[in-house]
């Protein structure tokens, strides 16, 4: 329903990561240049992981909001009208 637009930072980090991987293909493993590129790649990957935060899905937020709105409508109706619903069975009866 709602699409996620990638952030500019995410796109730039992916570009940097791709450049490092391309440069690593040019060098042989074990050379000092390859090791430097590997360290930089690890840093960029760590930075990219720290940027990723789990975000709630907009569809879930809409469903929860709709449910809460429905509950509020029912409660408002029951306050102004006769209290005759299935919720009546959940009300504790006092012993006198």
pLDDT in tens, the chain (96 residues): 455 556 667 778 888 888 888 888 888 888 889 889 888 888 888 877 765 567 788 888 888 888 888 888 888 887 887 655 565 566 566 665
Give residue 36's domain range.
8-51
Quick check: is 3 in a domain? no
CB atoms within 10 A of CB 96: 3
How far apart (Å, rounded) are the C-alpha atoms in residues 87 and 68?
Answer: 16
Quick check: is 92 in a domain? no
How far apart (Å, rounded) are the C-alpha atoms in residues 40 and 19?
Answer: 11
Radius of gyration of the chain (CA): 28
Per the confidence metrics, is the pTM higher than 0.85?
Answer: no
Length of the chain: 96
Quick check: is 14 in a domain? yes
Could you tell me if 74 and 42 lie in one domain?
no
Please tell me whether residue 79 adopts helix, strand or coil conformation: helix
């Amino acid at each position: 329903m709602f699409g996620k637009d990638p952030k500019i930072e995410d796109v730039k980090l992916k570009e940097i990561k791709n450049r490092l991987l391309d440069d690593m293909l040019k060098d042989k493993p074990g050379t000092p240049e390859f090791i430097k590129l590997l360290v930089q790649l690890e840093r960029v990957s760590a930075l990219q992981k720290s940027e990723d935060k789990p975000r709630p899905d907009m569809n879930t937020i809409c469903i929860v909001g709709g449910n809460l709105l429905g509950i509020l409508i029912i409660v408002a109706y029951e306050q102004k009208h006769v209290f005759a619903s299935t919720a009546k069975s959940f009300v504790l009866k006092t012993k006198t």
